[in-house]
Amino acid sequence: MRQNRGVDMTKGSVLRPVALFALPISLGSILQLLYSTVDSIVIGNFCGRSSLAAVGTSSQPIEVFMCLFMGISSGITILVSQAVGGGDRIRQRQVAVNTVFFLYISALPVTLAGVAGGPLLLRLMAVPEDAFSRAVSYIRIVFLGTLGNLGYNLNAGLLRGLGDSRATLRFLLVSGATNIALDLFFVALLGWDVTGAAAATAIAMYVSWLCSVRYLRRRYPELDFQLLPCGHDWRTLRDMVRIGLPLGLNHSVFSLGHMAMQTLVNLQGSAFVAACTIGAKINGITSVTINAFASAATAFAGQNLGAGRYDRLCRGGRVIPLFNGIMGLTFGLAFAAGCRPLLRLFTGDPEVLEQAVIFVRVVLPFTWPFAVYNSIMSFSNGIGRVRYPMAITILMLWAVRIPTAWLINRFGDGHMIMAAHPISFAFGMLAMLPFYLMKPWREIREKALKAASDEG
């Protein structure tokens, strides 16, 4: 049987394999951002502020429906990375087979729920009337791409667990080019407005999924990966759900909070919604490397736990969050200082532009505490300890960000509600630091000390 061809994080320095793993994820995320950004640029320049607001406000209902199942992707990453670290090839194949089965039993219910329930959520979110009908069209068409969306993300979780983060970059190159070409054709040339942007996005999702299936079948024949389900194992499915469901619930609760935040944004009118939409694109670019290193932290923790490398777990738990925080500070300050020329690519509307500049300059300089929080959270998830990070994430949003935004909107200037983001980032970082004093981490440190004394 062939060896796994992913990054081995159990040997050598801590940062080098983490960086090798994170780099393709960063490039892939940039590609994803690129084609979602092209959506916004094309719509902003060819359709206007109402259409841009419709696309921006539709992302939250889509996230709410999808993210419960997306948590399973992280569960797959954790299970496979632990199997890779322990050299268990049978376990790797079991997870791969059950990934396909889980996809098909999940995709249809999510599609139907999204098409039927999406408009209701948009109404509950107080979407501006001039953007509502366009938002409904966008959300229904995008949900027709659920099978491709879920399929790609579950397969990406499997590949991350194998230590192979480069492959997703190839898939996204193809799907990103497809999305950009179809955006220009459907929206700029045919004038289909948000309907064309949604169709381009849905088609691109299927392209990325099919590319990932083809790659897994050719590159990892020992996994016996199939396009269609060919059986399942209840024990492995139970493990996937046991680890992934808390993460998915965490994401779902977080997404509901995002929806509540979006409702506060929607109350400020279409111009502000459009400004936050393009401001979030710049924030997303800043967060690319932060999120990639956090994903690498999960795989690093899983592989080294499976291999019994407790000394490396201890080093990684210190080094990765520190390095990620430094990157978050550097990128945040750089993008905040130079944001205006970038924002002009999205809109020529002076009101939208000025409000977007304020968004970026309030949020981006304070992404570094989010980077530290995200790294520690991902590291904890990687060793299978998902409950504490889940609780902190829920509190970060529902006990800090949303109440802060509501207070700003109620008693201050509603156009400054984005200030709630950095406040919640600081809370999340401070609340995750006690992880290093808790029993799971103490046990890892003790095992590392015992291994060191045995070697001595």
Q: Is residue 352 part of a domain?
A: yes
Read off the tokens for 114. 């999204």
pLDDT, one tens digit per residue, over 6-51 is 677 888 888 888 888 888 777 777 766 766 677 777 887 787 778 8
Strand (E) or helix (H) holding 391: helix 387-394
| Residue 412: inside a domain | yes
Q: Does 380 fall in a domain?
A: yes
Q: If you compute the radius of gyration of the chain from its CA atoms, what whole number of angstroms results?
A: 22
Supply 23's token pair: 């780099």
Query: What residues make up the domain containing 387?
Result: 15-450
204-255 pLDDT per residue, tens: 989 989 999 999 998 888 888 888 888 778 888 888 878 777 777 777 777 7
Distance (Å, whole) CA 431 – CA 404: 17
How would DSSP label each residue in 94-143? HHHHHHHHHHHHHHHHHHHHHHHHHHHHHHHTT--HHHHHHHHHHHHHHH
SS3 7: coil
The answer to the question of residue 456 being in a domain is no
Say what the pLDDT of residue 32 is: 67
Q: How far apart are CA 296 and CA 378, in angstroms?
A: 8
CB–CB of 300/12 below 8 Å?
no
Looking at residue 425, its pLDDT comes to 94
Tokens of 210: 């099919």
Global model pTM greater than 0.85: no
Average pLDDT over all residues of the chain? 84
Calculate the CA 242 to chain-centre distance: 20
Count: domains in the chain: 1
pLDDT of residue 223: 84
Does 2 fall in a domain?
A: no
Residue 165 belongs to a domain:
yes
pLDDT the model gives residue 6? 61
Region of 133 on the Ramachandran plot (φ > 0 left; ψ -120 to 50 alpha; else beta): alpha
Tell me if 6 is assigned to some domain: no
Token reading at 178 = 């497809």
Q: Which of 67, 11, 76 is nearest to 298 (CA)?
A: 76
Give pLDDT tens digits along the chain (456 positions): 334 456 778 888 888 888 888 887 777 777 667 666 777 778 877 877 788 778 877 777 777 777 777 777 877 878 887 787 777 788 888 888 888 898 898 888 889 988 888 888 888 888 888 888 888 999 999 999 999 998 998 888 888 888 777 787 788 788 888 888 898 899 888 888 888 988 998 999 899 899 999 999 988 888 888 888 887 788 888 888 787 777 777 777 777 787 788 888 888 888 888 888 888 888 888 888 888 888 889 888 888 888 888 989 999 999 999 999 999 999 999 989 888 888 888 777 888 888 899 999 999 999 999 999 999 999 898 887 878 888 898 899 889 999 999 999 888 888 888 899 999 999 999 999 999 999 889 889 898 888 877 765
Cα separation, 229 vs 211, in Å, equals 17
Cα–Cα distance measured from residue 414 to residue 405, given in angstroms and rounded to the nearest whole number? 8
Helix, strand, coil fractions of the chain, as percent rounded to 5? 85, 0, 15
Q: Angle CA(175)–CA(374)–CA(251) in degrees, nearest 5? A: 65
Q: Is residue 153 part of a domain?
A: yes
Asked if residue 344 lies in contact with residue 400, where contact means CB atoms within 8 angstroms, the answer is: no
